[in-house]
Amino acid sequence: MQINKQYIVDDNNRKLAVQLSIETFEKIEEVLENYSLYQFMNSDDEKDIYKYFP
């Protein structure tokens, strides 16, 4: 997946933030949610739940 991003910089050209399209953000969000769900479903220890769902 290619991530098109724009950096927000200060007067000294230091990176402060990243701007993404909403489509890219939603794809990243979906990937993270799927990964968390996968980790949760494959967890043997009930305490592990809290690592993925704070």
Q: What is the pTM of this model?
A: 0.62
pLDDT of 23 strictly over 80: yes
Residue 14 located in a structural domain: no
Domain coverage including residue 45: 21-54
What digits encode the pLDDT tens for the residues 30-54? 999 998 888 877 877 666 666 655 5
Mean of pLDDT values over 3-10: 94
Residue 16 located in a structural domain: no
Residue 35 located in a structural domain: yes
Is the Cα torsion angle 27, 39, 41, 49 positive or negative in sign? negative
Residue 2 located in a structural domain: no
Query: Which residue, among 46, 45, 30, 22, has the nearest Cα to 5 in the 3D structure?
Result: 22
Mean of pLDDT values over 20-28: 93
